[in-house]
Structure 1
Amino acid sequence: MSMIQPEPAGQPVSPFVLPVTQPPDRETLAGWQRYRLTRASFQPAPRLTLADYRRLSPRRKALHDLHRTATHVNLPLLETPMSAAVDRLMRFRMQNNALKTKASTQSGLMVSGGGFQGKTETVCDCAAAFEDFLRDLHQELNPDAVAGTRDLHAPVAYVQTPVTAKPKSVCEAILDFFGAPIARGATLPQLCRLVRASLRDHGTRVLILDDVTRLKMHREADQDALDLMRGLMSMNVTLVLVGVGIRQSGLLTGGHYDAASGQWRFLPRKDGKSYFNDEAGTQTDRRFDLIDLDPFRYDSPARIAAWTSHLAGLEDCLRLFHAEPGMLTTGDMPEYLFRRTQGVVGLLERLIEDGCAAAIDNGTEKLTVSLLDDIHIDLRDVPGRDPQAGEIPEVPQPPRPAPAYKRGRNTVFDDRGPASSSSAS
């Protein structure tokens, strides 16, 4: 990419500028609201023909290349058959719980899947859309506001499970979202009361706990933390747990699958322990829907067609001058891309993103197998991911060609000089 040169007089400057703020921190109330309001606000680069591009000044060319790169690293969240199923179930669960008026434990939802499969983005986008609906329904007001108070309305709260989760640290993470003051040396019962008050006073209807499989069920503190999370279900919120490989993580230990309702049921603890001292909540078993957000498959005509359709959607978002129709969907490219990513949408986006940057840099302006063969995906240093919890998947890399065998030189006729005196006799 060339350096940006001064703009000649009389030519308008491209409206695109680099973002001046960091991506929204969804783990705070202000950050979540900024995410909700701006999640679809990015404007991709305009589509220019190569002839139009060549007529631009050097500065405007550089700005347009920068805008194209930003477009490729901010690809929209495309719906897949798997994410559509998660979205549908989650919408039904949130809506049904929000309409309940009886005092009973509300059913929750567990969203499972591998790393980089779009679980967090799918869940957050669905929850943000639900909050948009609630705010529009109530004219931006909290229908359950406490008289005489001015608490901010927060229909959705998003919290990441601490890496070393304990009941107190989980409570503190929830309170940090609301910016609630935490007294130094507060006991667990005091923290639980603060959590209850924050969820109630802010009108929270949905609580998302991400990376929940960081809990290790062989640790007693983690078992207590999970019991606390289940106890949150008696607080009139829809609890959404998101994690990698929930079925194999041990989180379902102590529960049983109810074929009649299609839900996992968890009975109250035998010792009657409840962090929230909610007797009504302990009388009803806690229920979860469990749904898997799987990667794409490539083992049937229907699944191959779904994969190809997803590639077509990505292809339509790219801004490469020599990209021909079918660049990602014809020939060996669909099978190649599946082999490189195993159908994981996050790995696919990373491969396409890096490939487009290379295509712009070297001037080829299109994606080819030979170009993508030189792209290696390295996820070892991705921030905010816990490899021990399976949050970083295995990344297939392109096979490296074996080094060419070099035949040794024939030395039969080499002149090795006169024989040594010891051998001359």
Structure 2
Amino acid sequence: MTELPPADVLATALSRQPPRRDTAASWRHWCTTRHQFVPAPRLTLAQWKTMSLAERSLHDMHRTATHVNMPLLETPMSIKVSRLVNRRIRNNAFKQKPSTRAGVMVSGWGYQGKTETVCEVLAAFEEDWLLLHDQLNPQAVDGTRDLHLPIAYVQTPVTAKPKSTCQAILDFFGADTKNMTLPELVRQVAASLHDHGVKALVLDDITRLRMHRADDQDTLDLLRAFMSMNVTLVLIGVDIPHSGLLREGRWDEQTRQWLLPTSEHARVHGLEATQTERRFDLVELDRFRTTTPEQITAFHAHLTGLEDNLRLLKAPPGMLTSGTMPEYLMRRTDGVVGLLERLIEDGAQEAMDSGRETLDENLLDEVILSLDDPGRDAAAGEIPTIPGSPAPTTSGHLKTAPARPTKNRNTSFDDHGPGLAQPSA
């Protein structure tokens, strides 16, 4: 029989707090512990029945933790994003020229894994960079003791203004921002980026900026100015091409990049050393699509990866990939990675609670997806529309739409249109 971990070890693993990444300490902690979770051992139903009630309870808790902490699975879409972000950050980090570093914009709808994909690339780069320089800042001034932080991850404030954005960046470094004016905050941000040896500044949920507001225009102007500090700016947001962030930009056919004008706001505070335009690579992290055989194969491969991480006691081979299950999962989630994982997580828990210990369409029909998340801004598109989700009635109550509508033919693998429009070659 597979040996189970001691109860105290399992309790420690299951009691960990959800990770934060918006401070230097929490980012470093996440980087060093992100792959430490150990999934539950695989047991057959017969092995599980030989356990005592206490052992079963612990093992079932470990199975639940395994289902909600699945590893980040690569997809063809995430690989494309990872390669671009990795290439841009590493190339910029080794540049010795005084020219402005091109930035990256990662676009996509909510729950498609943009943040996790980018953060994994950044964490791997930080590990390599620190190893290369023996954990020390190669640009440090003698006598200083600033922490070397190659990556700074910042959540864009819901109501973003130049002052609050600067404060959010400085909060990452633990700097005191009390009673500081905007010019002082800007200078402090520039100094912190330089003194800590930051190579990439990540602004997540950047599309919380509303370009019809003057404060938000000034904030974006300010962020472009930080690119003059030899830092790679990585902006992550929902539907960036249609958010207004690129409305002042122009597409350069020669470089295949978006060019944005220099920052008028930042010149006031003396950050801009040159008048060159700011360059951005724009890449989209799309959902799964099933228009071509290659796309269908990729979706099946992803389902195989999810199935391999499940610990259900009666799961047959091909539980998620055989029969009509792939079409069903596509219909329920529209190919959105986050929705798919949520459906599988909730379905696995229902399978355990009910004793069925396997996933099928009848069981998953009982799972109603709900994405109420106070940490996400629905108005900014951070929460996707759920196929077949409950619709509000005039009385304010929810009316559940049929989970499996009857149709003359199966249209699950019909594509519903292209992804976000990309400039033509």
Could you say whether these structures have the same fold, taking a TM-score greater than 0.5 normalized by the shorter chain as the test? yes
Q: How does 1:140-159 map to 2 (within 5 A)?
A: 140-159=135-154
Q: Residue 207 in 1 paired to residue 201 in 2?
A: yes
Q: Deviations over 1:53-111 (max 9, x none)?
A: 11111100110000000000001100000000000001110011011111111100000
Shift in Å at residue 190 of structure 1?
A: 0.4
Q: Secondary structure at the match of 2:10?
A: coil
CA distance in 1, matches of 2:268, 2:287: 37
Q: How many correspondences in the alignment?
A: 388
Amino acid in structure 2 at the alignment position of 1:391: E
DSSP 3-state at the match of 2:112: coil
1:193 and 1:21 map into 2 onto residues whose CA distance is 37
Once the two structures are superposed, the pairs formed by residues 361-376 of structure 1 within 5 Å of their partners are 361-376=353-368
Distance 1:235 1:276, change over 3 A: farther
1:40-51 equivalent positions in 2, closer than 5 A = 40-51=35-46
Give the Cα–Cα distance (whole angstroms) in 1 for the partners of residues 195 and 269 of structure 2.
Answer: 16
The one-letter code matched in structure 2 to 1:310 is: H
Instruction: State the distance in 1 between where 2:275 and 2:120 align.
Output: 33
How many Å apart are 1:219 and its aligned residue?
Answer: 0.5
Secondary structure in 2 matching 1:274: helix
Which residue of 2 is the match for residue 178 of structure 1? 173
CA gap 1:32/1:13 in 2 versus in 1, 3 angstroms? closer
Is 1:329 the equivalent of 2:324?
no
Structure 1 stretches of 4+ moved >6 Å: none
Residue identity opposite 1:112 in structure 2: S
Q: For 1:278 and 1:247, how far apart are their aligned partners in 2?
A: 27
**CA contact 1:231–1:275 (8 Å) conserved in 2:** no
Partners of 1:401 and 1:393 in 2: how far apart? 17
- Whether 1:240 and 2:234 are equivalent positions in the alignment is yes
Q: Which residue of 2 aligns with 1:121?
A: 116
Which of residues 339, 344, 369 in structure 1 aligns to 2:336?
A: 344
Residues 110, 241 of structure 1: 8 Å contact kept: yes
CA drift of 1:274 comes to 2.0
Q: Match of 1:177, SS?
A: helix
Partner of 1:395: 386
Name the counterpart of 1:65. Answer: 60
Measure the CA separation in 2 of the matches of 1:223 and 1:328. 46
Given residue 111 of structure 2, which amino acid in structure 1 is its aligned partner?
A: F
Partner of 1:37: 32
SS of the residue 2:14 aligns to: coil
**Which residue identity is paired with 2:156?**
T
Q: State whether structure 2 residue 312 is matched by structure 1 residue 320.
A: yes
Kindly provide the CA deviation profile for residues 218-268 of structure 1, in whole angstroms up to 9, marking residues without a partner as x. 111100000001111111111000000000000001110111111001122
SS at match of 1:152: coil
Change (3 A) 1:129 1:162: same
The whole-number CA distance in structure 2 between the counterparts of 1:132 and 1:166 is 32
Q: Is the alpha carbon distance of 1:319 and 1:268 closer, same or farther for their aligned partners in structure 2, counting shifts above 3 Å?
A: same
Structure 2 CA distance, aligned partners of 1:154 and 1:232? 16
Q: Secondary structure at the match of 2:15?
A: coil
In the alignment, the residues of structure 2 paired with residue 326 and residue 15 of structure 1 have an alpha-carbon distance, to the nearest angstrom, of: 32
Whether 1:268 aligns to 2:262 is yes
* Change over 3 Å in CA distance of 1:275–1:43 after alignment to 2: farther
The separation in 2 between residues aligned to 1:173 and 1:138, in whole angstroms, is 28
**TM-score when normalising by structure 1:** 0.89
The RMSD of aligned alpha carbons is 1.6
Is contact 1:377–1:397 with CA below 8 Å preserved after alignment? Answer: no
Q: Which residue of 2 aligns with 1:413?
A: none
- CA distance in structure 2 between the aligned counterparts of 1:327 and 1:84, rounded to whole angstroms: 26
> One-letter code of the match for 1:355?
G
Post-superposition offset of 1:272: 7.6
Contact 1:165 1:221 in 2 (8 A): yes
The answer to whether the 8 A contact 1:228-1:275 is kept is: no
2: CA distance, partners of 1:14 / 1:263: 53
Question: How far is 1:299 from its partner?
Answer: 1.8
Q: Percent identity?
A: 58
Secondary structure in structure 2 of the residue aligned to 1:288: strand
Pick aligned residue for 1:19 from 4, 14, 23 = 14
Matched, 1:229 2:227: no
> Partner residue of 1:85?
80
State the partner residue of 2:133.
138
Aligned equivalents of 2:23, 2:16: Cα separation in 1: 16
Structure 2: distance between partners of 1:357 and 1:275: 56
SS of 1:76's equivalent in the other structure is coil
Q: Tell me if structure 1 keeps the 8 A contact 2:106–2:283.
A: yes
Q: CA deviation at 1:275?
A: 5.1
Corresponding letter in the other structure for 1:377: L
Structure exhibiting the larger radius of gyration computed from Cα positions: 1
**Letter of the 1:145 counterpart:** A
Give the AA of the match of 1:314.
Answer: L
Shift of 1:377: 0.6
Aligned to 1:257: 251
401 and 284 in structure 1: CA distance in 2 versus 1, 3 angstrom threshold: closer
5+ long unaligned stretches in structure 2: 390-400, 405-425
Is 1:168 aligned to residue 163 of structure 2?
A: yes
Shift of 1:146: 1.9
Mapped contact 1:376–1:397 kept (Cα < 8 A): no
- Please name the residue that 2:376 is paired with: 385
Counterpart CA distance in 2 for 1:251 and 1:336 is 36
